[in-house]
Amino acid sequence: MDIANSPKPSRIKKTYRSIVQKYNSTISTLTPYTLYRWIFTISLIIIYLVRTFSLKGWYIVTYALGIYLLNIFLAFLSPKFDPALEMDDEDEDEDEDDEGLVLPVHEDDEFKPFIRKLPEFKFWHSATRATILALICTLFKFLDIPVFWPILVIYFIGLFGITMKRQIKHMIKYKYVPMDIGKKHYTIPKAVNNYI
């Protein structure tokens, strides 16, 4: 196909691309401001909760938002490469071939940094978009489906408890900590820094 004869993008596609590029550049500029991003998102969640509690409705939307936030939070806490699967693969490799060079497989042999399944920025972005969508849903009365909300609350608390218990057991079993709070941060002493 000749480039000169290829159809030019329509005005709608150009406008859409322009909007997407502006959105992505705006989102990219927010990357270093972690604290302010989370303050904004938590403020949105509080506004959403105040709105739903004051209007006494949209419990299904609130439940869906809660389940989604729990799901992405678990992805944020989970390692990208599951240690349980890696250990199963190592056991299979040892059974298949005991000859030749073997890579270090013990925890003392190598340093494995914690890499999240869902990075912090994507976690924030997904949580913010979901909360904004939930706020928009509260503008439409047909989405206010009548439901006995205490059952949803009890089910959500049970689901939260079970999934967090499983996640914490997984962390303890495979000895990883997804948070960097309390970890040592090494800095260059001032005397050494003056010579650099």
User: pLDDT, tens digit, for every residue of 4-39?
Assistant: 566 777 889 989 999 999 999 999 999 999 999 999
> Which pLDDT does position 18 carry in this prediction?
93
Lowest mean pLDDT among 17-21, 93-97, 120-124: 93-97
Asked if residue 125 lies in contact with residue 27, where contact means CB atoms within 8 angstroms, the answer is: yes
d(CA 41, CA 124): 8
Q: What is the pLDDT of residues 37-78, one digit of tens each?
A: 999 999 999 999 999 999 999 999 999 999 999 999 999 988
Distance CA 117, CA 75 (A): 6
Quote the crossing angle between the two packed helices 59-77 and 120-137, to the nearest 10°: 180
Task: Please write the tens of the pLDDT for every residue from 181-190.
Answer: 655 666 666 6
Report CA 129 to chain centroid distance, whole Å.
Answer: 12
| 3-state DSSP of the chain | CCCCCCCCCCHHHHHHHHHHHHHHHHHHHCCCCHHHHHHHHHHHHHHHHHHHHHHCCCHHHHHHHHHHHHHHHHHHHCECCCHHHHHHHHHHHHHHCCCCCCCCCCCCCCCCCCCECCCHHHHHHHHHHHHHHHHHHCCCHHHCCCCCHHHHHHHHHHHHHHHHHHHHHHHHHHCCCCCCCCCCCCCCCHHHHHHC
Residue 120 CA to residue 20 CA, distance in Å, equals 21
